[in-house]
Amino acid sequence: MAIKRIGVVGSGIMGAGVAEVAASSGFEVVLRSRSRTGADAMLAGLDASLARQVKKGRIDDDRAAEVRARVNAVTALDELAACDLVLESIVEDLATKQDLFRDLDRVCTPSAILATNTSTLPVVEMAMVTQRPERVCGIHFFNPAPAMALVELVPALTTSDDVLAEARGFVEACGKTAVTVKDQAGFVVNALLFPYLNNAVRLFDAGVASRDDIDAAMKGGCNFPMGPLELLDLVGLDTSLAILDALYAEFHEPNFAPAPLLRRMVAAQRLGRKTGAGFYDYSR
């Protein structure tokens, strides 16, 4: 089956990023947001990103217009009916994702692949609420999707080999490198990354070093492009907390137990860049 039209559900950080990647790679994209405001904000973000690329000389005006014309932002889920592959990028909550998979299963053609961008949740539990568990898999892009080279492909126990191959074809057509990972919490990258990020919050909370010094230490000492507290702000503290909760629920390892400060910051809606404040202040 040739994948031509991609549906993306969710217009947050990852939905917007994946829509841009897919459209830039020649796919028709239908992005579904729950509200017109969300859909318009996503389109405004895409326009701004394309304008930045034109300014930097990476693409010309014609190419930017072509990419923009491939993206249709909608609010009704039914508009995804003609998509060959739908990738959901909504909030990291299993019950919410399962409700969406039930709806997608009803709306999309039986041949469509339904995929999740989850960072940690069991793909099989989304697959099993549909009538097509063999056509569901995880396609885990990284943030920011247009810049990051890697995608983790996550076949559930139910995913067919054909569907995995088609998902790999899509990822490679997007210019990304795919690694295949078993359906267990955190896959490879987040299983290794999140204990580190969590421990950075613990060090900060214990007053071992200041925010700036913790970030400077890991950039200068390990050559990481970003410090851990900056990275948490980029990922989103709510998403980070959900990832740690899922890792802890699966493995019960102390390193996955979320630092209390992280939970308090989420309660205070200090979610990082997306709310204008996290460990850093982005309001100015």
Ligand X SMILES: NC(=O)c1ccc[n+]([C@@H]2O[C@H](COP(=O)([O-])OP(=O)(O)OC[C@H]3O[C@@H](n4cnc5c(N)ncnc54)[C@H](O)[C@@H]3O)[C@@H](O)[C@H]2O)c1
Q: CA-CA distance, 100 to 217, in Å (whole number)?
A: 42
Question: Which H helix or E strand runs over 237?
Answer: helix 237-251
Q: Would residue 140 show up in a list of annotated catalytic residues for this protein?
A: yes
Distance from C-alpha of 130 to C-alpha of 81, rounded to nearest angstrom: 15
Residue 96 touching ligand X (CB under 6 A): yes
Residue nearer to ligand X on the CB measure, 64 or 108: 108
Q: Does residue 197 bind ligand X (CB under 6 A)?
A: no
Query: Binders of ligand X: how many residues, by CB under 6 A?
Result: 24
**Which residue of the set 33, 49, 89, 140 is catalytic?**
140
User: Annotated catalytic residue: which of 20, 88, 92, 152?
Assistant: 152
Catalytic annotation present for 66: no
When asked if residue 198 is in the footprint of ligand X (CB under 6 A), the reply is: no
Does residue 202 touch ligand X according to CB under 6 A? Answer: no
In this structure, the chain runs to a length of 284
- Supply the minimum distance, in Å, between the C-beta of residue 2 and ligand X: 26
Distance of CA 111 to the CA centre of its chain: 24
Number of other residues whose CB lies within 10 A of the CB of residue 17: 25
Starting at the edge strand found earlier in the chain, the sheet holding 28-32 runs 71-74, 28-32, 5-9, 85-88, 113-116, 136-141, 150-155, 177-180
Does 227 contact ligand X by CB under 6 A?
no
> Where does 131-223 show beta strands of DSSP type E?
136-141, 150-155, 177-180
Tokens for 267? Answer: 């309660």
Find the shortest distance in angstroms from Cβ 240 to ligand X: 8
Query: Catalytic site residue 252?
Result: no
Site string for ligand X, 135-164 (x = CB under 6 A): -----xxxx---------------------
Q: Rule CB under 6 A: say whether 90 interacts with ligand X.
A: yes
The correct pick among 53, 119, 130, 158 for binding ligand X (CB under 6 A) is 119
46 neighbors 64 (Cβ within 8 angstroms): no
Does residue 15 interact with ligand X by CB under 6 A?
yes
Q: Decide if residue 13 touches ligand X (CB under 6 A).
A: yes
What would the two tokens of residue 95 be?
A: 């019950």
| 253: Cα separation from own chain's centroid | 24
> Closest approach of Cβ 252 to ligand X, in Å?
21
CA distance linking residue 146 with residue 24, whole number of Å? 9
Q: Which residues contact 166 (CB under 8 A, 6 or more apart)?
A: 1, 3, 85, 113
Shortest reach from residue 149's CB to ligand X, in Å: 14
* Identified binder of ligand X from the candidate list 1, 4, 26, 34, rule CB under 6 A: 34
119 in catalytic set: yes
User: Can residue 52 be called a binding residue for ligand X (CB under 6 A)?
Assistant: no
Return the residue nearest ligand X (CB atom).
Answer: 12
Q: State how beta strands 136-141 and 150-155 pair.
A: antiparallel
Residues that bind ligand X (CB under 6 A): 10-15, 34, 38, 89-92, 96, 117-119, 140-143, 235-236, 239, 274
Which residues are marked as active site? 119, 140, 152, 190
